[in-house]
């Protein structure tokens, strides 16, 4: 279980301005990063998307017994432009890959990815399949992997807390998406050809190699 | 009705009748059914439907025999499973096609429901159906290289023909699939293919059936028809279903589901697996109700193996299957109301009940969703201590009250009635012709339930009624679901009272147990409709052919028909009332 730093820090550092004793219950001093990340992690909106079985457990995790609202994740957004957490819940097939990549590209930064379940991690039981991509990390940068087939809602909560811990410790000054030229051109969207066409592979591998 | 159910040997009877009417067209098949000469198929099909009453085509599938067998040469074989909508056993037809250019006449003209199955067979097996109006790929995409279910087609991560793979036993080093693949990933391109001089056609072909109609609508006020796209990322498509629709204003003129976004190659993987190893894979078909899927597969393979199931195991199976049905219908109603705009309220109520039921599954099987609970000849584990009292509490106290509550909340609700009554009414004859099953069919007034029509397990020992609707609209579909929940409770009460003591497995079936050669079609009434497993064994430890007839896939064939003329906003309601799970549609 991840140690989570939930409280806003009071400072004991003497170089910072001292808070008068009568105000100490009302005023907290903290680094800007901390405050910014604290509010960010407490209002993550997941994308309302389900690829396969794990989506049902994702829904169960959002429902009343487990209640995602506790983490400020009440409302799953159906539009990727309003979401900042992509929970990939299930098998990513070749036919679905263009859509998944496009959804990720459309999400506003900062954005995070949780790979939920064995299929999202590696293809899982369906890895051998001709239409299955063995792991979403072949395309998307994954922040947290959740093993299980399907993972229980508790496992998803552990992943969310892990992600919170990651966000808490992110220094804003050096994060790519807060930089001036931090624009990302996105991941090249694959297309469906004789097999799924992954453009990154096309440019990497010379034509002769490809034909093997 | 009981007399008609007793027709248990229709094959010999049908064979002699066909011999009279179409001399030389029919001969007995290797294992089961009748081989029809391709030239006669059209006439024989109409005759079977009109004269002998086989009006319901359950499944069309293909089998690849690259080697000649004792009776027949190397061939592709298409198999048709026909039933009477009044009940009774199957009539199996086989049609042979040569291996170089397999062509078989299409039966879409006789049974429109064959359309989706024939498209799938063309897609995965490469058998062309002459006369099919729209023979495009259905699970993969246009332009895909090869037909994966052919025996000589190997996937990129191909290791060996059959599991268990020798590299894993007894001391071989397992090699990552990526290390073996030439490109280091699950991709492969034809040798002469280059991305530079190539036009993708997959997307264009999706819209092809719509294009010819776009434009003027032929009325005095000229308006354009437009083609729109729903999904596969859409909050109301219950997963990754995609639909393209042609609209005139807000009215649907034509609608086509586009499938395959969750095609996980279930059947190819299943044919490499051992028989028992497929059991956990069936869980992932209809991932809302895994117990029913287990049931179907167990019934099919037990037919081949000839294993007896002890009485206690049968009772446990029925209890689990009926609990699954209740759970599925709760979830189905919850999602439906979510789609028509109640957003989360109902879904939270429904999921609350689901949690309580999957708690029971977890107690018995160790897993919430993917139970993997059934074995050939029984179930995996006995019920744990205290299970019965929890189950009785649910079945006698909580769920009946909840069903009442749901009925009041839904069926007497003004908005619910306005959105559902009279929407997408489906006539009974159309429903049967399209191969619809489950609540979708029963809502039209056809009392067809596999538990009654061809009883399996011990369903004939219980006292229960088939829930039937009248109008075939969305309202009736939900009325039928609610009634079915009551009937399931009735079965559950009897089963829980009478649950006998005794063994739960007749004998332990080894993981690599061999199954006698033959073919079988085992079907059960899953919550969404008829779930059938067509298995062919060549006497080894792995299935030779493993085809799943899933209710969601077959029921989707009628979606375009029942959406026509309704508003765009109704499409999500119609889709939710069919009740699909994408894992089952795409497999």
Q: Is A158 on the interface with B (CB under 8 A)?
A: no
Any idea which residue has 């290791």 for tokens?
A: B159
CATH code where residue B76 lies: 3.30.460.80
CA distances from A191 to A80, B262, B263 (A): 20, 16, 17
Q: Does B374 reside within a domain?
A: yes
How would residue B531 be classed by pLDDT, with cut points 50, 70 and 90?
very high
**Looking at residue B180, what is its pLDDT?**
80
Q: Range with the lowest mean pLDDT among A175-184, A198-207, B349-358, B568-577?
A: A198-207
User: In 3D, which of B359, B419, B439 has the Cα closest to residue B569?
Assistant: B419
CA distances from B419 to B336, B416, B445, B479 (A): 11, 5, 21, 14
Rounded Cα gap, residues A92 and A190, in angstroms: 13
Q: Range with the lowest mean pLDDT among A32-46, B172-186, B339-353?
A: B172-186
Rounded Cα gap, residues A134 and A153, in angstroms: 23
Domain end, chosen from B65, B98, B130, is at B130
How would residue B346 be classed by pLDDT, with cut points 50, 70 and 90?
confident
Q: In what order do the strands lie in the sheet with B34-36?
A: B26-28, B34-36, B91-97, B75-83, B56-65
Largest CA distance in chain B: 78
Rounded Cα gap, residues A131 and A106, in angstroms: 24
For chain B, give the mean pLDDT. 86
Dihedral sign for Cα atoms in the order B26, B30, B32, B38? negative
Q: Quote the percentage of chain B above a pLDDT of 90.
A: 28
User: In 3D, which of B25, B40, B12, B35 has the Cα closest to residue B94?
Assistant: B35
Give the tens place of pLDDT for each residue, B407-434.
988 888 888 888 888 888 889 989 999 9
Query: In chain B, which residue's Cα lies nearest the Cα of A207?
Result: B194
pLDDT, mean of residues B468-490: 91
**Looking at residue B218, what is its pLDDT?**
59
Question: Does B442 score more than 50 pLDDT?
Answer: yes
Q: Does B400 reside within a domain?
A: yes
Question: Does B206 score more than 50 pLDDT?
Answer: yes
CB B92 within 8 A of CB B518: no
How would residue A186 be classed by pLDDT, with cut points 50, 70 and 90?
confident
For the record, the structure tokens of B272 come out as 């490499």
Q: Nearest CA to CA, how far is A169 from chain B (Å)?
A: 32
CB A54 within 8 A of CB A119: yes
Q: Is B147 on the interface with A (CB under 8 A)?
A: no
pLDDT, mean of residues B171-177: 72
Query: In chain A, which residue's Cα lies nearest the Cα of B343?
Result: A75
**Looking at residue B315, what is its pLDDT?**
93
* B91, β-bridge pairs: B82
Q: Range with the lowest mean pLDDT among B222-231, B389-398, B418-427?
A: B222-231
pLDDT, mean of residues B10-18: 78
Instruction: Identify whether B27 is preceded by a cis peptide bond (ω within 30 of 0).
Output: no
Q: Of B182 and A112, which is predicted with more confidence?
A: A112
Radius of gyration of chain B (CA): 24
Most confident of A2-11, A69-78, B167-176, B373-382: B373-382
How far is C-alpha A197 from the geometric centre of its chain's CA atoms? 25
Q: Quote the percentage of chain B above a pLDDT of 70.
A: 95
CATH code where residue B365 lies: 1.10.645.10
Rounded Cα gap, residues A90 and A150, in angstroms: 9
Helix axes B474-498, B568-578, angle to 10 degrees: 20
Our count of domains for chain B comes to 2
pLDDT, mean of residues B95-103: 89
Q: Is A199 on the interface with B (CB under 8 A)?
A: yes
How would residue B253 be classed by pLDDT, with cut points 50, 70 and 90?
confident
**Looking at residue A209, what is its pLDDT?**
46
pLDDT, mean of residues A127-151: 90
Considering only CB atoms, which chain B residues are within 8 Å of A124? none
Question: Does B168 score more than 80 pLDDT?
Answer: no
Closest residue to B141, CB basis, from A52, A192, A201: A192
Rounded Cα gap, residues A140 and B168, in angstroms: 31
**Looking at residue A206, what is its pLDDT?**
46
Decide: helix, strand or coil at residue B517: coil
Question: Does B326 score more than 90 pLDDT?
Answer: yes
Going by their DSSP bridges, the two strands A196-197 and B26-28 should be labelled as unpaired
Most confident of A191-205, B82-96, B387-401: B387-401
Rounded Cα gap, residues A103 and B421, in angstroms: 36
The DSSP element (H or E) to which B403 belongs, if any, is helix B399-411
CB A85 within 8 A of CB A44: yes
Q: Does B205 reside within a domain?
A: no
**Looking at residue B297, what is its pLDDT?**
92
Radius of gyration of chain A (CA): 20
**Looking at residue A1, what is its pLDDT?**
46
Q: Is A50 on the interface with B (CB under 8 A)?
A: yes
For the record, the structure tokens of B514 come out as 């061999």
Record: contact A138-B185, CB cut-off 8 A? yes
How would residue A212 be classed by pLDDT, with cut points 50, 70 and 90?
very low
pLDDT, mean of residues A21-32: 81
Residues in chain A: 212
CB B50 within 8 A of CB B82: no
Domains of chain A, start order: 40-183 (3.40.50.12280)
Q: Is A150 on the interface with B (CB under 8 A)?
A: yes
Q: Does B74 reside within a domain?
A: yes
Phi/psi of residue A27, each to 5°? -115, 135
Rounded Cα gap, residues A80 and A48, in angstroms: 8
Tell me, what DSSP letter sits at residue B254?
A: E
Q: Is A151 on the interface with B (CB under 8 A)?
A: no
Q: Is A91 on the interface with B (CB under 8 A)?
A: yes
Question: Does B170 score more than 70 pLDDT?
Answer: no
Question: Does A188 score more than 70 pLDDT?
Answer: yes
ipTM of the complex in this document: 0.86
Domain end, chosen from B78, B100, B130, is at B130
CB B78 within 8 A of CB B97: yes
How would residue A211 be classed by pLDDT, with cut points 50, 70 and 90?
very low
How far is C-alpha B63 from the geometric centre of its chain's CA atoms? 18
**Looking at residue A49, what is its pLDDT?**
83
pLDDT, mean of residues B8-33: 78
pLDDT, mean of residues A53-65: 88
User: In 3D, which of B86, B78, B77, B67 has the Cα closest to residue B3?
Assistant: B86
How would residue B321 be classed by pLDDT, with cut points 50, 70 and 90?
very high
Q: Does B218 reside within a domain?
A: no
Q: Does B197 reside within a domain?
A: no
Question: Does A144 score more than 90 pLDDT?
Answer: yes
What residues of chain B, 443 to 482, have a C-beta less than 8 Å from chain A?
Answer: none
Going by their DSSP bridges, the two strands A196-197 and A191-192 should be labelled as antiparallel
Q: Does B578 reside within a domain?
A: yes
Question: Does B221 score more than 70 pLDDT?
Answer: no
How would residue B222 be classed by pLDDT, with cut points 50, 70 and 90?
low
Give the tens place of pLDDT for each residue, A74-100.
778 888 898 989 999 889 999 999 999
What residues of chain B, 398 to 427, have a C-beta less than 8 Å from chain A?
Answer: none
Angle, vertex CA B552, rays to CA B280 and CA B559, nearest 5:
160
pLDDT, mean of residues B231-254: 85
**Looking at residue B4, what is its pLDDT?**
39
Rounded Cα gap, residues B345 and A48, in angstroms: 17
Rounded Cα gap, residues B301 and B298, in angstroms: 5
Considering only CB atoms, which chain A residues are within 8 Å of B370? 53, 149-150
**Looking at residue B533, what is its pLDDT?**
93
Q: Of A109 and B3, which is predicted with more confidence?
A: A109
* B26, β-bridge pairs: B36
Record: contact B370-A134, CB cut-off 8 A? no
CB B261 within 8 A of CB B242: yes
User: In 3D, which of B369, B325, B337, B367 has the Cα closest to residue B528?
Assistant: B325
Going by their DSSP bridges, the two strands B34-36 and B91-97 should be labelled as parallel
Which positions ≥6 away from B134 have C-beta within 8 Å?
B115, B119, B209
Rounded Cα gap, residues B244 and B211, in angstroms: 11
Q: Does B187 reside within a domain?
A: no
Residue B483's domain comprises 266-586
Decide: helix, strand or coil at residue A12: coil
Domain end, chosen from B130, B165, B200, is at B130
How would residue B324 be classed by pLDDT, with cut points 50, 70 and 90?
very high
């Amino acid at each position: 279980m991840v140690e989570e730093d939930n409280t806003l820090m009071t400072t004991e550092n003497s170089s910072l301005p001292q808070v008068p004793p009568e105000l100490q219950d009302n005023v907290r001093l903290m680094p800007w990063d901390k405050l910014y990340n604290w509010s960010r992690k407490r209002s993550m909106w997941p994308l309302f998307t389900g690829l396969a079985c794990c989506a049902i457990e994702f829904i169960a995790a959002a429902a009343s017994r487990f209640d995602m609202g506790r983490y400020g994740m009440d409302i799953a957004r159906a539009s990727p432009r309003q979401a900042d957490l992509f929970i990939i819940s299930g098998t990513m097939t070749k036919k679905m890959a263009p859509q998944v990549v496009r959804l990720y590209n459309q999400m506003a930064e900062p954005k995070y990815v949780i790979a939920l379940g064995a299929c999202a991690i590696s293809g899982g039981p369906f890895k051998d399949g001709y239409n299955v991509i063995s792991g979403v990390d072949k395309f998307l940068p994954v922040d947290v992997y959740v093993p299980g087939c399907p993972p229980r809602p508790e496992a998803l909560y552990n992943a969310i807390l892990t992600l919170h811990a990651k966000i808490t410790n992110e220094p804003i000054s050096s994060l790519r998406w807060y930089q001036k030229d931090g624009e990302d051109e996105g991941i090249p969207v694959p297309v469906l050809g004789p097999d799924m066409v992954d453009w990154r592979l096309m440019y990497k591998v010379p034509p002769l190699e490809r034909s093997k | 009705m009981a007399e008609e159910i007793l027709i248990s040997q229709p094959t010999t009877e049908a064979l002699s009748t066909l011999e009279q009417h179409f001399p030389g067209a029919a001969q007995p098949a290797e294992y089961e059914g009748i081989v029809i000469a391709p030239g006669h198929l059209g006439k024989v099909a109409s005759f079977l439907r009109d004269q002998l009453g086989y009006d319901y085509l359950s499944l069309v599938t293909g089998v690849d025999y690259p080697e000649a067998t004792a009776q027949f040469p190397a061939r592709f074989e298409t198999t048709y499973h026909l039933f009477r909508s009044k009940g009774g056993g199957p009539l199996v037809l086989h049609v042979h096609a040569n291996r170089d250019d397999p062509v078989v006449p299409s039966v879409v003209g006789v049974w429109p429901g064959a359309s989706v199955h024939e498209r799938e067979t063309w897609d995965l097996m490469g058998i062309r159906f002459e006369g099919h109006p729209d023979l495009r790929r259905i699970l993969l995409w246009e332009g895909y290289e090869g037909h994966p279910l052919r025996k000589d087609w190997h996937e990129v991560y191909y290791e060996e023909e059959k599991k268990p793979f020798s590299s894993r036993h007894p001391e071989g080093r397992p090699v990552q699939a990526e290390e073996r693949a030439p490109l280091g990933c699950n991709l492969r391109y034809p040798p002469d293919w280059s991305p530079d001089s190539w036009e993708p056609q997959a997307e264009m072909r999706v819209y092809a059936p719509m294009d010819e109609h776009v434009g003027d609508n032929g009325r005095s006020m000229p308006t354009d028809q437009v083609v729109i796209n729903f999904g596969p990322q859409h909050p109301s498509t219950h997963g990754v279903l995609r639909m393209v629709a042609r609209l005139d204003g807000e009215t649907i003129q034509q609608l086509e589901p586009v499938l395959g976004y969750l095609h996980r190659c279930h059947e190819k993987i299943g044919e490499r697996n051992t028989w028992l190893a497929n059991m956990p894979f069936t869980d992932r078909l209809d991932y809302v109700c895994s117990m029913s899927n287990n049931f179907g597969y167990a019934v099919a393979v037990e037919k081949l193996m000839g294993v007896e199931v002890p009485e206690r195991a049968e009772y446990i199976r029925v209890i689990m299957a009926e609990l699954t049905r209740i759970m599925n219908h709760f979830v189905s109603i919850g999602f439906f109301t979510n789609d028509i705009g109640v957003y989360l309220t109902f879904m939270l109520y429904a999921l609350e009940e689901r949690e309580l039921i999957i708690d029971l599954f977890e107690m018995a099987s160790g897993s919430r969703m993917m139970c993997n609970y059934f074995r050939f000849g029984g179930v995996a584990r006995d019920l744990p201590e205290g299970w019965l009292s929890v189950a009785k509490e649910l079945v006698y106290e909580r769920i009946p009250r909840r069903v009442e509550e749901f009925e009041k909340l839904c069926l007497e609700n003004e908005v619910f009635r306005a959105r559902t009554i009279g929407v997408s009414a489906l006539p009974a004859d159309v429903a049967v012709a399209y191969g619809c099953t489950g609540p979708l069919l029963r809502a039209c007034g056809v009392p067809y339930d596999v538990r009654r029509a061809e009883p399996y397990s011990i369903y004939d020992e219980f006292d229960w009624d088939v829930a039937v609707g009248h109008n075939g609209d969305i309202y009736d579909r939900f009325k039928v679901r609610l009634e079915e929940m009551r009937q399931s409770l009735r079965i559950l009460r009897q089963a829980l009272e009478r649950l006998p003591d005794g063994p739960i497995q007749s004998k332990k079936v080894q993981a690599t147990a061999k199954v006698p050669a033959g073919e079988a079609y085992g079907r059960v009434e899953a919550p969404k409709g008829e779930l059938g497993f067509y298995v062919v064994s060549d006497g080894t430890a792995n299935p030779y052919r493993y085809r799943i007839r899933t209710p969601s896939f077959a029921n989707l064939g009628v979606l375009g028909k029942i959406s026509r003329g309704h508003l765009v906003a109704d499409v999500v309601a119609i889709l939710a009332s069919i009740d699909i799970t994408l894992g089952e549609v795409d497999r």
